[in-house]
Structure 1
Amino acid sequence: MFKHLREEIDGILARDPAARSRLEVALCYPGFHAILLHRLARRCHDAGWRLSARLISHLARALTGIEIHPGATIGRRFFIDHGMGVVIGETADIGDDVMLYHGVTLGGTSLEHGKRHPTLGDGVIVGAGAKILGAITIGTGARIGANAVVVADVAPGTAMVGIPAKPVTPRSPADTQTFLPYGTPCGDLPDPVARALSGLLDQMTALQARVAELEDAALTPNTSASASRNGGIRDVQGDMR
């Protein structure tokens, strides 16, 4: 169960510049303690000792502020940075080299006993406060921005931001391969809501221009007809004279 202990610690050292030594990680990182206790709880869960597994999970929650159901499947080199407030549901499936920040929820949207929690591919980063809900799949290397709410599948290598989360076009192809702290692209980050509003304003401007054209077209024949009628009336009045 603990044969990859050194690997877990090295994964944390590689992704957290604040970590100074393996001993510091082993003693002071709640995310590391949570995953160790989860490994033990999962062994109990698989052995059929469900109550013991839940008790270990409950103890881990009290010690670290991180709630991981014993039934969740978690890969290697998993890292929860800061950790407080993280919730991982029973049927969640997490790949290798995944990183979560504090306040992340991998939750379910169904009361069924089957698969109801997300599946995260290898190398996924989920920013602080993000919520990933339902039996959806987050593709390998995807980035979920801070406070995003994801309720649909995410393609591999995609960065998602907003509520509900929408894809963000990377600034360059290299951005899809680089590590993104908190899962959020830095610099000039497009706002999906602002982009949608801008599109609506463009459509409104085009519609106003079209309405003006139609009004001009409708008024022109009426003016000509009115002029013809006025001319005819004057001719009749002249004949009568």
Structure 2
Amino acid sequence: MLLSQDLAANLLGHPRSVSRTASTIMTARFASIALHRAASRLGRRFPLAASMLKQINQAATGADLAWQARIGPGAILFHPQGVVIGQTVTIGARCQIQQGVTIGGLGQAGAIVTPMPMIGSGVRIGAGARILGGVKIGDDANIGANAVVLIDVPPGRTAVGVPARIR
């Protein structure tokens, strides 16, 4: 079910043709999500195998997507190279993520892992953006290219700059 919604979202960017489904399935942007979905499903029973599949995903597409991350349906990683998504990150439906984006915690303090971001539905994240710590990004928000988001972003608003400011 999730994978079919991912495929439908990714088809929107391709011109209409007989082979558009086949050509979409062969893209790195779809492969990165498909491999993440497979690793997530596998991880419920076989965490080591899921970790191996995650590494295959990273080698094949350049996307470092933790298999434990929850990514909603209809996600698009336009250019998955350099995208990093942490273990306990939650991303809503229909999110669009550009290349070089990092979504994760602020690191580890001893044995305590810092909180991870929660991304709403319909969020658009520009190239090179960093969303760090326990922030909440509201539905339909926009994160500008190269923004460093350390604060909550309300629904429908835009965050730009280093550190990010709400516009």
TM-score of the alignment, normalized to the shorter chain, above 0.5 = yes
| Cα distance in 1 between the residues matched to 2:30 and 2:55 | 16
Partner SS state of residue 37, structure 2? helix
Q: Which residue of 1 aligns with 2:65?
A: 68
Partner SS state of residue 58, structure 1? helix
Note if contact 1:123-1:142 (Cα within 8 Å) is conserved in structure 2: yes
Q: How many pairs are equivalent?
A: 163
Aligned amino acid, residue 123 of structure 1: G
> Is there any run of 5+ residues in structure 1 with no aligned partner, and where?
169-241
Q: Which residue of 1 aligns with 2:119?
A: 120
Aligned amino acid, residue 9 of structure 1: L
Aligned amino acid, residue 87 of structure 1: V
Note if contact 1:10-1:22 (Cα within 8 Å) is conserved in structure 2: no
Are 1:10 and 2:5 matched, yes or no?
A: no
State the percentage of identical aligned residues. 37
| Cα distance in 1 between the residues matched to 2:59 and 2:48 | 16
Partner SS state of residue 61, structure 1? helix
Aligned amino acid, residue 120 of structure 2: G
Q: CA, structure 1 residues 18+81, in 2 after alignment: closer, same or farther (shift >3 Å)?
A: farther
Q: Which residue of 1 aligns with 2:33?
A: 35
Query: How well do the aligned residues superpose, as a CA RMSD in angstroms?
Result: 1.7
- Report the TM-score when normalising by structure 1: 0.64
> Is there any run of 5+ residues in structure 2 with no aligned partner, and where?
none
Aligned amino acid, residue 94 of structure 1: I
Larger radius of gyration: 1
| Cα distance in 1 between the residues matched to 2:31 and 2:57 | 8
Q: Which has the higher helix share?
A: 1
Q: Which residue of 2 aligns with 1:210?
A: none
| Cα distance in 2 between the residues matched to 1:113 and 1:141 | 31
Please list every run of at least 4 consecutive aligned residues from structure 1 whose deviation after the TM superposition is greater than 3 angstroms: 3-6, 17-20, 112-115
- Report the TM-score when normalising by structure 2: 0.91
Q: Deviations over 1:211-235 (max 9, x none)?
A: xxxxxxxxxxxxxxxxxxxxxxxxx
Higher relative contact order (CA 8 A, sep 6+): 2
